[in-house]
Amino acid sequence: MQRIVTAELDLELGASVDLIFQIAAAQPAPVLREELTFSQGDRVYTPTEIIDQSGSRLHRLQGDAGRLEVRYEALIDGHVAQRSTSDLEAITYLRPSRYCQSDEVFSQARRQFRGLQGFDLIAAVSEFVASSTTYTPGLSQGTDSAVTTLMTGQGVCRDYAHVVIALLRAMDMPARYAACYAPGLRPMDFHAVAEAYVDGSWYVIDATRLSNRRSLVRIATGRDAADCAFLSYHGGYVGLQRMRADALVVPGDVADAEAAAAQDAAAAASDPALDDFAELVQLA
């Protein structure tokens, strides 16, 4: 299964500013081709690439005042095995974090999910968050946390993921945040999901029910949205003038006789309605 992912950002920089982007497919995704450019008029910046322990790729540059255009496109082919998780990583994903205050939701989680463990716990938390939260673009704030979302009952993908993560951590299950490209997502944007760690493997949870988890392309992994922002900056003003993210599944190279079947398979892989959210899926 091949996926084409693209991102376009137009930024207005008020002064020289330190910019850090996370929009490229994470390692070790099987990238067939990839292009990432940062341009300002006739000037093209060459960023420094930094790769963290989970494979997230950060691209850093010092931009000058003016309009900066960022363009990314990649063709991803298939899936790869997940990276191994160290004991230290697992411990990190058990702790409360900025947007996932598992200590503050501890009592609710223990009362509501008492006696549940493993895959039964994953299913129960996923269903609870999906049924108790309303997807409301434009109403949640970038500083909203899992506690805020539990109180208001509304949010976007990052908020759903934060609630899932906080509840799972409160039940002693390591959980983490993943930013993704999501073919078939409506409205199309960068997407966020949660992952739960059970028996040595990570399983993806999308409580929004807005993506087909099998087609997701990982961008970044972290404790919560603070670790996975598509853009962070320091030392100056940055205005986001335009942003566009897109992703689609395309058939790989197949014989003419198989073309129709490949087209159907590609369409199915990007249809959220065809994802059985009770099934365990790994995000490679």
Domain assignment present for 277? no
Which whole number is the average pLDDT over 145-174? 97
Average pLDDT over residues 200-204: 95
Q: CA-CA distance, 278 to 224, in Å (whole number)?
A: 23
pLDDT score of 264: 63
Give yes or no: residues 47 and 92 share one domain.
no
Final residue belonging to a domain, choices 211, 227, 243:
227
User: Coil, strand or helix: which one is 60?
Assistant: strand
Locate the DSSP E strands across the chain.
2-13, 17-21, 31-40, 43-45, 48-51, 57-63, 66-77, 134-135, 154-155, 175-181, 191-198, 201-205, 217-222, 231-234, 238-250
**Domain shared by 61 and 93, yes or no:** no
- One-letter identity of residue 165: I
The CATH number that applies at residue 16 is 2.60.40.2250
Q: What is the mean pLDDT of residues 131-151?
A: 93
pLDDT of residue 139: 80
Name the domain count of the chain. 2
Q: What pLDDT sits at residue 78? A: 82
Q: What is the pLDDT of residue 257?
A: 46
What per-residue confidence (pLDDT) applies to 164? 98
The residues, any chain, with a CB within 8 Å of residue 131's CB and separated by 6 or more, are none
The CATH number given to whatever domain includes residue 131 is 3.10.620.30
18 vs 254, higher pLDDT: 18
Which one-letter DSSP state was computed for residue 28?
Answer: T
Both 222 and 236 in one domain: the answer is no
Which whole number is the average pLDDT over 113-140? 95
Amino acid at residue number 60:
R
In the chain, pLDDT over 70 holds for what percent of residues?
Answer: 94
Closest CA to 220 of 249, 262, 177: 177
The domain containing residue 141 runs over which residues?
Answer: 87-227
* 273: in domain: no
Does residue 118 have a pLDDT over 80? yes
**What is the pLDDT averaged over residues 163-187?**
97
My answer on whether 194 and 141 are in the same domain is: yes
Whether residues 138 and 216 fall in one domain: yes
Helix (H, G, I), strand (E, B) or coil at 54: coil
**What is the reported pLDDT for 260?**
52
Tell whether the model's pLDDT for residue 255 goes beyond 60: no
Residues 149 and 182 in one domain: yes
| Residue 267 predicted with pLDDT over 90 | no
243 to 76, 256, 275: CA distances (angstroms): 21, 37, 28
205 has pLDDT over 90: yes
pLDDT tens track for 29-72:
999 999 999 999 999 999 999 999 999 999 999 999 999 999 99
Tell how strand 217-222 and strand 134-135 pair up: unpaired
Average pLDDT over all residues of the chain: 93
The Cα 139–Cα 154 span in angstroms is 8
For residues 51 and 64, what is the distance between their CA atoms, to the nearest angstrom? 24
Total-model pTM: 0.93
**216 and 159 together in one domain:** yes
What are 70-92's pLDDT values in tens digits? 999 999 998 777 788 999 999 99
Q: Give residue 25's pLDDT.
A: 97
Q: How confident is the model at residue 123 (pLDDT cuts 50, 70, 90)?
A: very high
Instruction: Tell me what pLDDT residue 103 has.
Output: 97
